[in-house]
Amino acid sequence: MTAPHQPWDLLVVGGGTAGIVAAKTAARLGARVALVERDRIGGDCLWTGCVPSKALLAAAGRAAEARRAATLGVHVSGVESDFAEVMRHVRSAIAAIEPQDTPEALTAAGVHVIQGDAVFTGPTSVDVDGHRTSFHQALIATGGQPAIPPVRGLAEAEPLTSDSVWDLDTLPRRLAVMGGGSIGCELGQAFARLGSHVTLVEMAPRLLPREDPDAAALVHAALVHDGVDVLVGHQAVTAHGQPGSAGTLVVDDGAGERKVSYDALLVAVGRRPGSGGLGLDAAGVDVDPKGYVTVDAQLRTSSARIWAAGDVTPHPQFTHVAGVHGSLAASNAVLGVRRRVDASAVPRVTFTDPEVAAVGTPTWAHDGGPDPRTLTREHVDVDRAQAEGRTDGFSRLALGARGRILGGTVVGPRAGESLAEVTLAVRKRLTATDLAGTTHPYPTYGDGVWNAAISAVQDRLAAPTTRWLLTGLVALRRAWSKR
């Protein structure tokens, strides 16, 4: 291993999204940059997260569309899924995107790539497989891993996770999914559409506990429609099974136990930070009780020369957040600027069908005060949704004083795309009037957000004082016209 530029201006530990973006950003700024990765460059998003899951969802969605075509007068018979072919599609999607994140691509961008395990030996040095490397500034971007809850017998059963499910080549006849968050709902629906009998177990009273309850209800109904047995309010008690074989998951809803038989068990109940084994104590880097690296508003750790970004920190665990934070931390580290994290507009999308997209102030559970208030347009009133027979959704805005857009939830096809302008509106402190006065293409699902904004403007025009003023202006105009 060669290290021609020690000490590095920035040493990045971890080659996922946060690390890649940070390294490229620093290199573009003229810094001497090295990136250390123990496994594959690209991280969870490329290999086990965003890319494979969306490829799988696309295949499952095609199967569902074919079955749903009869509602539009198109009759398709004999729809079957070839799971091995589906997985080849998933792997081809990874292969198509991988060249963007290879060591060669990083080298071309001016980043020196070091393969191995990095362990901090002090506040300005790391050991990489027995070789000492020094730095002026460092960034921890080691991501996270799926968490396995302490359910009796679960670890011994070696269940699938969002990391290992992509190794399957045979469709499980019966799939049990622990976890009703985004990952559990997405994968549960996908496998059901491809032909598995799926049972989804969630300990909370409803699916997607962090999302608008109306949105969660629509997803619940969609999963049931696709054949998923949804068990909310059920706690997993015991798992009986050998690694890679059929077994039984015992769940309890408080009234009694129930057995869920499976051929494959998938655990999707959250993630834990990848902060272990890095020698953080030697570097003076603190972690919180859950193991997340603590950072300030500039993403600096408790060690003055070390920064952190991505899933290893307590910030929201999304690829887009990791990328933005990686760039911000790298800029702060190599330029000495003090850019701060902006958490006002962090969008999130659950890629079920229908999709659930949300940003900013929640569109539910308010304290009863005058602000924020919400305005909703059901997609039964969206012309594109009617034309496509997909009216199972809504667009909802949370509005503050003077109609300022504080947040939003969109449920429906391509909801993430419709959410983009809401995210910008929250970030730029725009109002419903700003959105309503912007010409939108027609007909699109974006009409839901636009029409909600128009409704807000119409409500303001209907207020008594405003009506009085407008009536007076019209009367004056009428009188002037008679002259």
Between CA 51 and CA 319 the distance in angstroms is: 11
127-131, 303-307, 421-425, 463-467: least confident range: 463-467
pLDDT tier for residue 246 given thresholds of 50, 70 and 90: very high
Instruction: Report the candidate in 267, 242, 282 with the shortest Cα–Cα distance to residue 121.
Output: 282
- How far is it, in rounded angstroms, from Cα 40 to Cα 92? 17
Class of domain 354-464: alpha beta
Q: Which amino acid is at 284?
A: G
Q: What pLDDT score was predicted for residue 244?
A: 83
- Res. 289: pLDDT tops 80: yes
H-helix or E-strand spanning residue 333 = helix 319-335
Q: What is the pLDDT of residue 83?
A: 95
CATH number, domain 8-146+272-335: 3.50.50.60
**Minimal CA–CA distance to 449: which of 346, 370, 363, 388?**
363
Say how many CA atoms lie within 13 Å of 434 toward its Cβ.
Answer: 14
Triad 88, 89, 90: Cα angle to 5°: 90
Which of 191, 195, 227, 197 is closest to 57 using CA atoms? Answer: 191
Domain 154-270 in CATH: superfamily?
A: FAD/NAD(P)-binding domain (3.50.50.60)
Q: List CB contacts of 243: < 8 A, sequence separation 6 or more.
A: 156, 157, 158
Q: Would you state the structure tokens that stand for residue 273, as one six-digit string? A: 């930070």
> What CA–CA distance (Å, rounded) separates 86 from 191?
11
**Range 148-164 burial, b when 16+ CB lie within 10 A, else e:** beebebbeebbbbbbee
Query: For residues 340, 342, 343 and 345, what is the CA-based torsion angle, rounded to 10 degrees?
Result: -170
Q: Where in the chain is the domain with CATH 3.50.50.60?
A: 8-146+272-335, 154-270
Rounded Cα distance between 160 and 196, Å, is: 15
How far is Cα 24 from Cα 106, in angstroms, rounded to an integer? 7
The pTM for the full model equals 0.93
State how far the Cα of 180 lies from the Cα of 194, in Å rounded to an integer.
19
The pLDDT tens digits of the residues spanning 160-171 come to 999 999 999 999
How far apart are the C-alpha atoms of 290 and 213, rounded to whole Å? 28
Q: 84 with 169: CB under 8 angstroms?
A: yes
The whole-number average pLDDT for the span 65-87 is 85
CA–chain centroid gap for 203, Å, is: 21
For residue 371, is pLDDT > 60?
yes
Residue 146 has pLDDT above 60, yes or no: yes
- pLDDT tier, 1 (very low <50, low <70, confident <90, very high otherwise): very low
Burial 225-254 (b: 16+ CB within 10 A, else e): ebebbbbbebbbebbbbeeeeebbbbbeee
Length of the chain in terms of residues written: 483
Residues 177-207 have pLDDT tens digits of 999 999 999 999 999 999 999 999 999 999 9
Output the DSSP codes for 425-459: HHHTT-BHHHHHTS---SSSTTHHHHHHHHHHHHH
pLDDT at 222 over 90: yes
φ and ψ at residue 291, rounded to 5 degrees: 95, 0
DSSP codes of every residue in 28-74: HTT--EEEEESS-TTHHHHHTSHHHHHHHHHHHHHHHHHHHGGGGT-
Q: What is d(CA 317, CA 405) in angstroms, rounded to the nearest whole number?
A: 24
For residue 80, name the pLDDT band (cuts at 50, 70, 90). Answer: confident
C-alpha distances out from residue 350 to 208, 318, 356, 414, 437, Å: 9, 11, 5, 10, 29
Distance CA 254, CA 265 (A): 22
Instruction: Retrieve residue 36's tokens.
Output: 């250390």
Under DSSP, the state recorded for 24 is H
pLDDT value at 369 more than 60? no
Would you state the pLDDT for residue 180? 97
- Report the distance separating Cα 46 and Cα 19, nearest Å: 13
Residue 461 pLDDT level (bands cut at 50, 70, 90): confident
